[in-house]
Structure 1
Amino acid sequence: MRTPRTTIRRKLILAIMLTSTTALALAGTALTIHEVTSLRALLARELATRAAILAANSTAALAFQNPEDASQVLAGLRTDPSIVAAALYDARGGVFATYPMGASAPLVPAAAGAMGNRLERASLLVSRPVMEGNRRLGSLFLRSDLRALDERVRAQVMAILVAVLGSMGVALALSAWLQGGIAQPVRILAETAKAVLDRKDYSVRARAVSDDELGVLAEGFNDMLAEIQRRDAELEQRVADRTAALEASNKELEAFSYSVSHDLRAPLRAIDGFSKALLEDCGDKLDQVGTKHLDRVRTATRQMGQLIDDLLNLARISRAELRRERFDLGAVGKEIAAELKRAQPEREGVQFVIAEGMTVVADTQLLRVVLDNLLRNAWKFTAKHPTARIELGQHRDNGHRVFFVTDDGAGFDMAHANLLFAPFQRLHRQSDFEGTGVGLATVQRIIHRHGGQLWADGAVERGASFSFTLSEVKS
């Protein structure tokens, strides 16, 4: 049995409608998916940024176990109506502070969960660790309401559906009267929609070849693309503005710390100067106890001055541009070893063993700071041993070069190894070994800026070993 004959008019109308419907549906789907993805990605980035800032602002409250300060930090979230709940957890996973005050399950978990982002019904949940150096103080939980986002998505979907349905109606009406005139505009519109779908390029526009309803359809489609393009640009600008604001805030904090450090020098110089003048002018009128007290004052001011210098050096290293070049770590190590021996020639029992062929591509000045800190530490912590061995070398571990500085000096208790690289943390008494506790923090900052890792091993009175890697960079 033969299939009923379909007229050319109907075939043309069917072809036009099929092409238009397919193109518009694909374009609408692509636009909707892109809008949803962009909005959710933006929300996730904004929430991650907010979480990172809150985590950084909460370190002091967790470190000093101050729930009131933690609650004040979380209270700043009231300016963001999309965040409905938040909680800080201590290192054991217990609730430390909540927003709003007294919030409990199901708004906030009763205990800290896994770190990361996840969706839960109409909420986006973000969990981030609160770190101080390498030490985890606790974690932060944020719950953001997605209902406003869902409403925007639904409105966008409805707008796209209305546009698609309206375009289909216009196309059907025109194709019934002007089959020949419809073919070319529809083809152009379909090609434009496909280009948008394939290249995700929303700057593409449909070319209007007539002033009738199909021209209006093309203009409407172009307006829809323009709206999506405008929203994309707006979202990107918002992200850029947030990033710039964070960078500006960081620069202001650096400038503030630098200014405070410099402002501390003047009173320190005054204290040291007047103490020295008092010793020189009135020393014969002071008893032994008074003289000893003034000596302690001068010693303390010099130590504070050294601490300020170390802090400024740490800040400078954090901002300095890396200037990579090829050089030999061993040659730098030998120079530092020679300086140490010249400064204390009486320590003839110290043996330096420095390997050959340790060529790297890195910032020469910054790596010199690393070796200077590590070798001086080894020199300092072997001072109470009549004979000592300090080694600078390298070995391979899983295909990666690992550089190390080892000694057989005072060593340290591995139970406190997590404090080694935190600023102002010392594992030995000041009376036993001098120092400010900033040197190893500086070393870690430099190694991380070179894309490497730093770790330590040791035992009390059996020496210490500091190892580090550098990212493989070809000169």
Structure 2
Amino acid sequence: MSDDDIERIAGATDALLLRMKTLEKANADLEARVAERTAELEAVNRELEAFSYSVSHDLKAPLRGIDGYARILLDEYGERLDDEGRRLLGNVCRGVAQMHRLIGDMLAYSRLERQVLAPCAVELQPLAEEVLSAIDEGGLPEAARLSIDMGGLEVRADRNGLAIVLRNLLANALKFHAPGQVPVVHVSAQREGQAVRIEVCDEGIGFDMKYHERIFDIFQRLNRVEDYPGTGVGLALVKRAVARMGGRVFVNSVPGEGTCFTVELPAP
């Protein structure tokens, strides 16, 4: 081996050692940044937990007081009030109830952001029937016509997260129908390649598709709360839960004919 060869090998070795040191430093810097980012995320989570505690306790307590005093006035002094006075107190009670629902939905949204998901194979038919049973116990609209046929399919998802999605979509489908109209809802699923599409379709009031993106934004509503009670959080929960499970959700609607929500999730 000539001196030139030895010098080239030595030079290559030095260059390799320098490259290794550079990579080691870059790796150490990366680990430091990851640790710093992790600490920042943990701090944000602690702040969110503190916020949730504050919302749950500090806001609900005065609301309970307002509701309690309003009901005492209605029960014990209602006969002394005229129709307008009773109507106004009734509005106070309904406003408090709406605020309670809003706080509950805000907490649910906050918990969803912090929740650690556990993806697994989830059978759709039993889960959908379980969700419907819970809705039924809470008061399924009388004479509602609802069919569920998931075709024996499974998806890869977090079971609790998917339950949140189905619960909110079913509640929406059962709610948005014209006065006097019987709610008609069809829930189904089909396999398409490596994905499974879940559809929750109704024959209700529908909406103009120019608002199709807005309805997934938190606190956004297309109808007056007096006509269709709600907080504007449910579909935001659906969108966030589906995104966190690696899927997507979209909607198609025709005013006066109905709405169909489609959730696409990975097949197991």
Q: In structure 2, what is the equivalent of residue 447 of structure 1?
A: 242
User: What does 1:94-113 align with in structure 2 at a 5 Å threshold?
Assistant: none
Call closer, same or farther: CA 1:385–1:461 in 2, change over 3 Å. farther
- Tell me the residue number matched to 1:359: 154
- Show the counterpart of 1:274: 69
Aligned counterpart for 1:379 among listed residues 150, 170, 174: 174
Deviation at 1:375, TM superposition (A): 1.0
* Distance change >3 Å, CA 403–CA 229, structure 1 → 2: closer
> 1:341, 1:347 within 8 Å by CA — same for their partners in 2?
no
Q: Is the 8 A contact 1:410 1:463 kept in 2?
A: yes
Give the Cα–Cα distance (whole angstroms) in 1 for the partners of residues 118 and 131 of structure 2.
21
Q: Report the Cα offset of residue 25 of structure 1.
A: 4.6
Alpha-carbon distance between aligned partners in 2 of 1:237 and 1:363, rounded to the nearest angstrom: 30
Match of 2:142 in 1: 347
- Aligned pair partner of 1:394 in 181, 189, 197: 189
Bigger Rg, which one = 1
1:19 equivalent to 2:6? Answer yes
CA-to-partner distance for each residue in 1:115-164, whole Å, 9 max, x for gaps? xxxxxxxxxxxxxxxxxxxxxxxxxxxxxxxxxxxxxxxxxxxxxxxxxx
Unaligned runs of 5+ in 1: 1-11, 35-201, 203-224
Q: Name which of structure 1's ranges 360-369 and 298-307 shifts more when overlaid on structure 2.
A: 360-369
Query: Residue 370 of structure 1 aligns with which residue?
Result: 165
Q: CA distance change for structure 1 residues 322 and 461 in 2, over 3 Å: closer, same or farther? A: same
Higher RCO by CA contacts (8 Å cutoff, separation 6 or greater): 2
Tell me if 1:322 matches 2:109: no
For 2:48, give the aligned amino acid: E
Q: For residues 300 and 387 of structure 1, do their structure 2 counterparts lie closer, same or farther at Cα, with a shift above 3 Å needed? A: closer
Which of 97, 103, 106 is residue 311 of structure 1 equivalent to?
106
Aligned equivalent of 1:427:
222
Match of 2:38 in 1: 244
- CA shift at 1:453, angstroms? 0.8
TM-score by length of 1: 0.51
User: What CA distance in whole angstroms lies between the structure 2 residues aligned with 1:289 and 1:345?
Assistant: 32
Q: Is the 8 A contact 2:119 2:245 kept in 1?
A: no
Q: Residues of 2 paired with 1:321 and 1:236: CA distance? A: 24
Distance 1:399 1:236, change over 3 A: closer
Which residue pairs with 2:128 in the alignment?
A: 333
Map of 1:1-400 to 2, 5 A cutoff?
15-25=2-12, 27-28=14-15, 31=18, 202=20, 225=21, 228=22, 231-232=25-26, 234-262=28-56, 263-338=58-133, 340=135, 347-348=142-143, 350-355=144-149, 356-382=151-177, 384=179, 386-400=181-195
Go from structure 1 to structure 2 and tell me whether the alpha carbon gap of 1:373 and 1:27 turns closer, same or farther (over 3 Å shift): same
**Long gaps (5+) in structure 2:** none
Amino acid at match of 2:45: K
Q: Determine which of 243, 254, 263 is the counterpart of 1:459.
A: 254
Superposed displacement of residue 344, structure 1: 5.4
Residues in 2 aligned to 1:354 and 1:229: alpha-carbon distance in whole angstroms: 56
Structure 2 CA distance, aligned partners of 1:399 and 1:424? 33
Residues 275 and 298, structure 1, Cα contact 8 Å, conserved in 2: yes
SS across alignment from 1:420? helix
Q: Compute the displacement of 1:384 (Å).
A: 2.7
Measure the CA separation in 2 of the matches of 1:396 and 1:324: 18
Identity of aligned residues (%): 29
Q: Contact (CA 8 Å) 1:403, 1:467: kept in 2 or not?
A: yes
Report the CA distance shift for 1:235/1:324 in structure 2 as closer, same or farther (over 3 A). Answer: closer
Deviation at 1:234, TM superposition (A): 4.2
Q: What do the CA deviations read for 1:164-212 (whole angstroms, capped 9, x no partner)?
A: xxxxxxxxxxxxxxxxxxxxxxxxxxxxxxxxxxxxxx3xxxxxxxxxx
Q: Is the 8 A contact 2:141 2:174 kept in 1?
A: no
CA contact (8 A) 2:173 2:201 kept: yes
Displacement, 1:21? 3.6
**Using the alignment, how far apart are the partners of 2:194 and 2:134 within structure 1?**
34
